[in-house]
Amino acid sequence: MYVGVDLGGTNIAAGIVDEKGDLKYQKSIPTKAKRNPKEIINDIRDLVLDLIKEYGLLKDEVEAIGIGIPGLADEDGNVIFCVNLGWKNVPLAISLNKQLGIPIYIDNDATVAALAEYECGVMMGAESGILLTLGTGIGGGIILNGKVYSGYNGVGSEIGHMVVGNNFYDCNCGRNGCLETFSSSTAIIRYTEKLLKESKNKGLIYKRIHCDSEELNAKLIFDCAKMGDEIAQQAVKRLVKYLSLGIINLINILDPQIIALGGGVANAGKYLLDLVIEDVKKNQYYKELPIGKIVLARLGNEAGVIGAAMLGKQ
């Protein structure tokens, strides 16, 4: 059995996962991210111990613990950066291994989610695949030849920071035009706000948020677009345009067998998927040749825990 931990800015989720990737039992606790790393690491330790005990396992029966983090770790499991948690050079794997005596593996949360989709989701059996997690930002996970690919220095698969155009606001990373400033939930909210400010006829969406743009969210915008609201449709169209453009760039570079869309924005489901596929087909480079399949991710929120657990298996 494996344990997977999804260390997020808000919650820490952990689960017992078998070698097929089935999530057997899980629980979660609040991260309280402002505390110092040591306290959070102790909470992870206790959460894992509780989980093992409550599921009725012995510690020896856990082959490995994997942890997905919203940041970057090196091969030894040191967390190099974790912006949301304010971590820098935290020896997470060594600390936990010392306290638990179980091998610890750490990787980026988007990479881990891609691994989950590869082990038991929509990328199962694929030679190569890319998962785009369309959330408040855009994360990317790349699988090549059945293995997680993070590049020579471990700084690859940051697909959200591929520049694809010029935008009306800069990315958190300091550059302009990153994919995540066009096609994340934050991006579609900011663009819809801009449209609402600039337009006279504010339509359905303005009523639904009670004239308060603080109430805007991606789901609401997609719902209004489906109902024919013009501003919402314009915002969705722009998100789709740049997402398709990013996907075509990925095809032109890596040509993966599968491209999967996950994260909150992908909850718009088939409506979003059909628009993206149509746009990609219209604009792909080799129009007469086959390209990878574009699909919705399958595992949803559980991908973080399952994929983290699968790090141990890899």
Cβ distance to a copy of itself smaller for residue 185 or 244: 244
DSSP label at 71?
A: S
Site for a copy of itself in 254-273 (CB under 8 A): 254-257
Q: Figure out which of the listed residues 10, 36, 199, 252 binds a copy of itself, where binding follows CB under 8 A.
A: 252
Site for a copy of itself in 63-92 (CB under 8 A): 72, 80-81
Q: Segment near a copy of itself (CB under 8 A), from 5-13, 106-114, 137-145, 297-305? A: 137-145
Cβ distance to a copy of itself smaller for residue 24 or 293: 293
**Distance of alpha carbon 250 from alpha carbon 293, whole angstroms:** 12
Task: Count Cβ atoms below 10 Å from residue 142 Cβ, excluding itself.
Answer: 22
CA gyration radius for the chain?
A: 20
Q: Segment near a copy of itself (CB under 8 A), from 15-23, 49-57, 60-68, 249-257? A: 249-257
Joined together, the tokens standing for residue 177 give 């035009």
Q: Is 133 within 8 Å of 116 (Cβ atoms)?
A: no
Q: How far is the CB of 186 from a copy of itself (least distance, A)?
A: 18
Q: How far is the CB of 1 from a copy of itself (least distance, A)?
A: 32
Q: Figure out which of the listed residues 17, 69, 243, 248 binds a copy of itself, where binding follows CB under 8 A.
A: 248
Binding mask 112-131 for a copy of itself (x = CB under 8 A): ---------------xx---
- What are 228-235's contacts with CB under 8 Å, separation 24+? 228/204, 229/203, 229/204, 229/205, 230/201, 230/203, 231/192, 231/195, 231/196, 231/199, 231/202, 231/203, 231/205, 231/206, 232/192, 232/203, 232/204, 232/205, 234/195, 235/188, 235/191, 235/192, 235/195
CA 293 to chain centroid, in Å, comes to: 19
Label the pairing between strands 128-134 and 138-144: antiparallel
Asked if 291 touches a copy of itself (CB under 8 A), the answer is: yes
Cβ distance to a copy of itself smaller for residue 284 or 301: 284
Cβ distance to a copy of itself smaller for residue 203 or 246: 246
Joined together, the tokens standing for residue 48 give 């894992």
211 φ, ψ (degrees, to nearest 5): 60, 15
Q: Is 232 within 8 Å of 224 (Cβ atoms)?
A: yes
Joined together, the tokens standing for residue 311 give 């790090």
Site for a copy of itself in 144-203 (CB under 8 A): 144-145, 150-159, 161-166, 173-175, 177
Cβ distance to a copy of itself smaller for residue 157 or 185: 157
Q: How far is the CB of 123 from a copy of itself (least distance, A)?
A: 12
Q: Figure out which of the listed residues 200, 210, 212, 289 binds a copy of itself, where binding follows CB under 8 A.
A: 289
SS3 62: coil
Q: How far is the CB of 72 from a copy of itself (least distance, A)?
A: 7
DSSP label at 60?
A: G
Cβ distance to a copy of itself smaller for residue 190 or 241: 241
Q: Figure out which of the listed residues 5, 232, 251, 295 binds a copy of itself, where binding follows CB under 8 A.
A: 251
Residues contributing to the site for a copy of itself (CB under 8 A): 72, 80-81, 127-128, 140, 142, 144-145, 150-159, 161-166, 173-175, 177, 245, 248-257, 283, 285-286, 289-292
